[in-house]
Amino acid sequence: MSQFQSRPSLSDAVTRPQGIPLVTVNDVSLFLPGDSRQEMVLHHINWRVEHGRHCALLGPNGSGKSTLLRLLRGELWPAQGHIYWHTPEGAEESPLAGRAMSALVSPAQQENYQRQAWDITGRDLLLTGLEDAPLLYNQSGAWGDVEREAAVEALAVRMKAQGLLSRDLPTLSQGQLRLLLLGRALLRAPALLLLDECTDGLDATHKKIFFDVLEEYSGRCTVILTAHRTGALPDWCAERRYISEGRLLDAPPPIPSAHGAGAGKPARAKPNRPVYSATGRILLSLENVSVFIDRHEVLHNVTWSLHEGEHWRIAGANGSGKSTLLRLLAGDEFAAAGGAVSRWLPGRGGHVEMLADVRKGVRLVSDLSQALYGFTLSGLELVCSGFDNSIGLYRDFTEAERDEARRAIAGLFPEGDAARVAGKSIRLLSSGQLRRLFLARALMGRPDILLLDEPCSGLDAESRARYLTLLDQLAAPAEAGGLGVHLIFVSHHGEDAPLCINREARMEDGRLTVLR
């Protein structure tokens, strides 16, 4: 009998009794691996996780939510205290017990798949969930086990992801990859399902699909999820726990008056935007542009232009081609024969053709660019690499450049964490903190155009408000105290769009339609 035939499938009507302990955390404190200073990021955590008590873990960026999920998974070990995983054989302290009973979906996991760029299909990715391994190591078993293939097909149908099974991973969009990672975790049928900002990057349709499937599955597992957008939490996930500065709380922490969550939101009231007339100089122009990735046509005959004074929001479903369009504009993808791309960048002296000039004048901030940055640098070094738009450091920076980088970091971390974030390894920062640093990096050298692909993904409410306010300040003309940077903004959340947006378009099946 296959070792996988005893695992419950999505169709199994198995209900676990409530009130029975699944994981017990006793007075645990820990620091992250690789931190030579051994700075504690979790402090005296006590938590009894019980079967059937689904919980939302809430807290701001850098508070320790992701670290706590990794502890429950068995990926991190306490510096003090104890953690026990309760199995049929009794309570175990081995992290192998935690990994056997749990599955984790996180931004870090997704970044690892993007960084490695393994040559596997969506089907392969789902099958790895059964083995709890990043890759398939038993190829004959993978294709010879009829039951496993049937489980993959059934889950793909339920999640409306059949078309992704034969696709290679590098051709998937951010949202498509996230959907498959969620399916991978569900296919394994773990007792404990840990979801770290699990719906970031999913469009409204796929979010509904996922939560519908998760609700069906929730009777047979315990779900613990983190979220910054609490309005999207399902009703059945009723329990709330809060993380503040590495400490687990039963109630929300008091909000300091100077840094209230969402502070600044009243100042972001929707203005009456004038109808824009495209009369300025053309900065970017696409004429009949198609783009192929691994012989798959992602963009189809796109004709479009960006004029001076325009700031665009581009909407569209997962896999529609939005991210590919931004990578094309940034010089990371190339037009197929018969299409033309032209760029006129004031900060680079006018018309540019050399890729080095394009990459300095047009900056892209995205999940993928963050994932591909594999170097271990400090926050300050990461931001300084933006002067050359390099991945890694290849020269010494002047003190003036370092000061400019520090000012950019301070503008994005006004809560007082700027110095600490600047000096810390980027591998020890949260996804939300990294997202803000990558914006600071993109601003080095004063680009003409910022391309922003789901830039608020992973940001808490207060950080989102500050982030968007900064974008509006950057987009303001020089006479109004801004830099006059032109924005092209992609997001599934309409409320995230900066107030300066005055043009909109929609991408559908690789074709761009201008809306206004």
Supply the mean pLDDT for the chain.
86
In a domain, 8, yes or no: no
Whether 410 and 299 share a structural domain? yes
CA torsion sign for 179, 184, 188, 192 is negative
pLDDT score for 427: 84
In a domain, 224, yes or no: yes
pLDDT score for 260: 41
Question: Residues in the chain, how many?
Answer: 516
| Chunked mean pLDDT (size 10), the chain, 516 residues | 40 55 96 88 96 94 93 95 94 94 91 85 91 73 69 92 90 86 90 90 85 88 90 88 95 65 44 50 95 89 95 92 94 92 92 89 86 81 90 88 93 84 88 87 92 87 87 87 90 86 94 93
Domain boundary among 254, 270, 291: 254
In a domain, 259, yes or no: no
Whether 204 and 290 share a structural domain? no
Whether 141 and 197 share a structural domain? yes
Whether 232 and 283 share a structural domain? no
Domain boundary among 238, 254, 270: 254
Whether 352 and 296 share a structural domain? yes
SS3 348: helix
Whether 181 and 306 share a structural domain? no
In a domain, 9, yes or no: no
- Classify residue 340 by burial, with Cβ atoms within 10 Å: 0-12, 13-18, 19+: exposed
In a domain, 226, yes or no: yes
Whether 169 and 25 share a structural domain? yes
User: The tokens of 272 are what?
Assistant: 């009456």
CATH number of domain containing 38: 3.40.50.300
Whether 357 and 291 share a structural domain? yes
- Classify residue 403 by burial, with Cβ atoms within 10 Å: 0-12, 13-18, 19+: exposed
In a domain, 446, yes or no: yes
Q: Domain count for the chain, please give it.
A: 2
Phi first, then psi: give them for residue 267, nearest 5 degrees: -75, -10
pLDDT score for 490: 92
In a domain, 510, yes or no: yes
Whether 366 and 308 share a structural domain? yes
Whether 248 and 322 share a structural domain? no
Whether 217 and 339 share a structural domain? no
Instruction: Give the structural domain span for 474.
Output: 278-514
In a domain, 351, yes or no: yes
Q: How far apart are CA 5 and CA 218, in angstroms?
A: 21
pTM as predicted: 0.83
Whether 333 and 244 share a structural domain? no
